[in-house]
A and B are shown apart, each in its own frame.
Chain A
Amino acid sequence: MSTFYFIAFLSIFFSILVITAKSPVHSILYLILTFFTFTIHYILMNAQFLAVVNFIVYMGAILVLFLYTLMLINLNKESEPRKSNLVKIAGFIGGACFLITIVAALKAFTVSQPVLLSNPNLGLVKNLGKILFNEFLLPFEVSSVLLLSAMVGAVLLATKDPKTA
């Protein structure tokens, strides 16, 4: 349990650094560390497959692309867009709403009962695969179609319009 608290502390610590870091590239690097602590959380919960997939997909692919884009656009002080007053007011209202939500959530806070899995080895590849392809086959396939449609949409956005080009 102490391992969990230590890793949870690290997760929160790095996620705070993500939003306070001045340079966007440093921010992404802290985000990578945050995702790494998530991987450790999965391992602590005996979900090895989820851990390694989180490791490969988020740390190894998505964040590399984030870093790639940030390095290319080269953000610095001069190119930072000036924020208009309207944006500042909208930001204030949004932040205030979020604060209220958090305070309300804290008011209703009680220590929940720990959830006991009927099968502690659920996170291992074999068991996870059996459950995904037997009990949850339809949602699994539907979500893959969703990802495919997102991909097709991205390609469509990226290709030039033949009329304007």
Chain B
Amino acid sequence: MGLADIVIKLVLIVIIFLISLVIAMYSTYAERKIAAFFQDRIGPNRAGPWGILQPLADGGKMFLKEEIIPTNASPFLFIAGPSLAILTACIGSAVIPWGQTVTMGGHTFDLQVTDINVGILYIFGVVSLGVYGVMIGGWASNNKYSLLGAIRAASQNISYEISMGLSIIALLMVTGTLSLKEIAEHQHGWHWNVLYQPVGFILFIVCAFAETNRTPFDLPECETELVGGYHTEYSSMKLGFYLFAEYINMFISSAVMATLYWGGYNYPGMDWVLAHTGPTIGPLIGTAVLFAKIFLFIFFFMWVRWTIPRFRYDQLMDLGWKVLIPLAIANIIVTGLWITFF
């Protein structure tokens, strides 16, 4: 790997990082606009035209608010919690293939930071690490509501990680590889995994909702029972980090779902487009298609949030252990039989 390659990788990392942050920022705006639409309101419309500067105003407000660390909190862990939450949210994007190989000015490079051959498992590991941010922050606040929120988050994540892993196993049986790049290439020409694994996809999206703590699985921050849940004691940008991490997680899990099940950067007729636009613009169109799919999923996340009320805690556990896990195991068995006989 020469110097040019390293510079290209660094630029790519910075670009992906910035894109994640900007998308997370504007997800908060989109969420408020969509909520307003669902509730027949106008939504934020003061800062800039159509209120598009609202996220910047929110960010400025978050930075300028007074920062409070409770007297009996453990200070280091209190700060480590939100930092860990945002860190684990950001590192998941490293293995996602954002597009095909691009040729630009004599250089060819992949639109993927690194293609490790255990890509899916890496994402899975990052997801399972994400719960520590919530747990550490909730415990360090030294507040019963925070602690209960943290404990809910932990048990929920552990429960839904199992069915998520099982749904991925069925997917791996179909694709035969753990590398996200190869999975994306496999789906070229309408071989989208969602057509082969519809049940697996439904399991995966339900688990993704649970892992990102989104409604109807947002029990860790259930305000009717727990004040603010695990971030009750947080103020200023530390609170902002927790809220921001949720939106980044939403973006990353949408990207993962689009890549694993909905064809990634593939779209109908892409060979024709690629042949007519050349090796520089063509792959970038694929990237644009991937982002369109990601935005659809983010919209779906919000749509569900403003439509469905939240579960009771026992219902959540019942769904995870008594419905999703048996369904995921049945899905594996059916997939195995299908692969063996057809």
Q: List residues of A whose CB falls within 8 A of some B CB.
A: 25, 29, 32, 48-49, 52-53, 55-56, 59-61, 64-65, 67-68, 71-72, 124-126
- CB–CB A48/B117 < 8 A: yes
Q: Across the interface, which residues of B come within 8 angstroms of A61, CB to CB?
A: 128, 158, 161
Complex Cα spacing A125 to B77, Å: 36
- B150 closest partner in A (C-beta): A71
B118 an interface residue at 8 Å Cβ cutoff? yes
A148 vs B77: C-alpha distance when bound (angstroms)? 37
Complex contact B117–A64 (CB within 8 A):
no
Whether B135 and A71, one on each chain, are in contact in the complex, defined by CB atoms closer than 8 angstroms, is yes
Interface flag for B122 (CB, 8 Å):
yes
Nearest CB in chain B: distance from A31 CB, A? 12
Q: How large is the interface on B (under 10, 10 to 19, 20 to 34, 35 or more residues)?
A: 20 to 34
Q: Is B118 in contact with A48, judged by CB distance below 8 angstroms?
A: yes
CA distance A87 to B58 in the complex (A): 59
Q: How far is the CB of A49 from chain B (nearest CB, A)?
A: 6
Give the chain B neighbours of A56 by CB distance below 8 A.
121, 124-125, 128
**Interface of B (DSSP majority class):** helix
Residues of B within 8 A of A59 (CB): 125, 128-129
Which chain A positions have C-beta within 8 A of B131? 60, 64
Given A59-B128, A60-B129 in contact, is the A52-B121 Cβ separation under 8 Å? yes
Q: When chains A and B are docked, how far (Å) is the Cα of A25 from the Cα of B131?
A: 15
Give 23 CB contacts A-B under 8 Å: A25-B139, A29-B136, A48-B116, A48-B117, A48-B118, A49-B121, A52-B121, A56-B121, A56-B125, A59-B129, A60-B125, A60-B128, A60-B161, A64-B128, A64-B131, A64-B157, A67-B135, A67-B139, A67-B154, A71-B139, A71-B147, A72-B151, A125-B117
Q: Is the CB of A65 within 8 A of B158?
A: yes
> Among B116, B121, B127, B139, which residue has the most Cβ atoms of chain A within 10 A?
B121
Inter-chain contact A64/B125, CB cutoff 8 Å: no
Within 8 A of A (CB), among B109-145: 116-118, 121-122, 124-125, 127-129, 131-132, 135-136, 139
